[in-house]
Amino acid sequence: MATAQPVIGVLALQGDVREHLLTLAECDVLARPVRRPEELAEVDGIVIPGGESTTMSRLLEVFELLEPLRQRLADGLPAYGSCAGMIMLASKVLDGRPDQHPLGAVDMTVRRNAFGRQVDSFEADLDFAGVGPLHAVFIRAPWVESAGAGVEVLATVPESASAGEAAGRIVAVRQGSVLATAFHPELTGDGRVHRLFTEMVRRA
């Protein structure tokens, strides 16, 4: 007997939606774009892509998805956010915009464009807990400034000659069935972070 595949939505208002859908397609799940409340109601997990969190936040209101998404997250919907998605899932945003609405799914404060004060984009080799060594691409990325006691830190920027102020900063976290990374595994053809998330959805 075939086991039903979980349905994973990708919030498709803005950002690198296609890259997430393609990466999820390799994970033995049904991956679908989500733009309407009816589509959100049907998913077993949601991915919030990289892009621009201020724009996505505004579009959540325009598409009447802000409250339904907050409600589903509060009810325990598994979620994964990369970069802008990490910012959206936070409980507090530093250097955000006043009309930006944090979804509050992870008890953490993130700083928007945190690395941008030194360099816009960079790559680093991380040690990702439970996944292993991972090559990460950061694009105008946030970092996690602080996280609550219930938040598990999965990766930090390693110490290196070029890391500077970024060394030791938290760039991947998990709280219950919510996962967030400051970087973009959907852009590197490495499906391991998405597989971790889809396993979280299966177990939830």
- Binding status of residue 81 toward ligand GLN by CB under 6 A: no
Q: Could you give the CA distance from residue 1 to residue 69 in angstroms, rounded to a whole number?
A: 33
Half-sphere exposure of 83 (CA within 13 A, CB side): 26
Nearer to ligand GLN, 50 or 185 (CB): 50
Nearer to ligand GLN, 6 or 54 (CB): 54
The residue to which tokens 């598409």 are assigned: 63
Given a contact cutoff of 8 angstroms between Cβ atoms, the answer to whether 136 and 124 are in contact is yes
Q: Give the residue among 154, 155, 123, 121 at the shortest CA–CA distance from 136.
A: 123
- Say if residue 162 carries a ligand binding annotation: no
Q: Interacting stretch for ligand GLN, rule CB under 6 A, among 45-53, 66-74, 159-167, 187-195? A: 45-53
The greatest distance separating any two alpha carbons of the chain, rounded to the nearest whole angstrom, comes to: 54
Catalytic residue among 19, 20, 101, 186: 186
- Say if residue 140 carries a ligand binding annotation: yes
Strands 30-34 and 90-94: unpaired
Q: Interacting stretch for ligand GLN, rule CB under 6 A, among 79-87, 158-166, 172-180, 196-204? A: 79-87
Q: Which residues contact 67 (CB under 8 A, 6 or more apart)?
A: none
Exposed, middle or buried by CB within 10 Å (0-12, 13-18, 19+), for 22? Answer: middle
H or E stretch at 121: strand 121-128
Nearer to ligand GLN, 58 or 112 (CB): 112
> Restricting to residues 88-127, which ones interact with ligand GLN according to CB under 6 A?
112-113
Nearer to ligand GLN, 88 or 147 (CB): 88
Catalytic residue among 20, 101, 184, 194: 184
- Binding status of residue 29 toward ligand GLN by CB under 6 A: no
- Binding status of residue 51 toward ligand GLN by CB under 6 A: yes
Q: Which residues lie near ligand GLN (CB under 6 A)?
A: 50-53, 83-84, 87, 112-113, 139-140
- Indicate which residues carry an active-site annotation: 83, 184, 186
Residues belonging to the binding site are: 51-53, 112, 139-140
